[in-house]
Amino acid sequence: MKKLLSGNEAFALGAYHAGVTVATAYPGTPSSEIMENMARFPEVYAEWSTNEKVAMEVAIGASYTGARAMASMKQVGLNVASDPFMAASTTGITGGLVVVCADDPGIHSSQCEQDNRHFARLAKVPMLEPSDSQEA
């Protein structure tokens, strides 16, 4: 059966099929729908966190113990979560960690335009950049 999904819905479904069992996020357009969709899977512990740093720390903590985890946020949220993000890149993880950072080119729904691809280069972590919902 084919199903039409937005990019955020595709991220959630892909994470679920990849075995993510812990998903954390701080709400903010354009990334909020990822957590809303992750929360629909009963096998996934899904948490709206106090802020992006807490979301990152919970996901990293889960991945340190062997769980596959995901943290999602909008682009300026990675600024808030940069300390634990950089710590994870230098200490390594056990289970697996995906950080979904929803950049907002052209400032359609955010307070500023920011290019977070530089964070991935700085942390020396792999980065995927889907250009549309099909690639997501």
Quote the pTM value.
0.89
Residue 114 domain-assigned (yes or no): yes
Q: Is residue 131 part of a domain?
A: no
Whole-angstrom distance, CA of residue 69 vs CA of residue 96: 6
In a domain, 35, yes or no: yes
The CATH number for 52's domain is: 3.40.50.970
pLDDT for the residue 104 = 65
- Residue 30 preceded by cis peptide, ω within 30: yes
Let me know if residue 65 belongs to a domain.
yes
Domain total of the chain: 1
- Identify the domain containing residue 13 by its residue range: 8-123
Q: Is residue 93 part of a domain?
A: yes
pLDDT at 59: 97
Is residue 3 in a domain? Answer: no
Q: Average pLDDT of each block of 10 consecutive residues along the chain (136 residues)?
A: 86 95 90 92 96 97 96 87 93 92 69 76 87 78
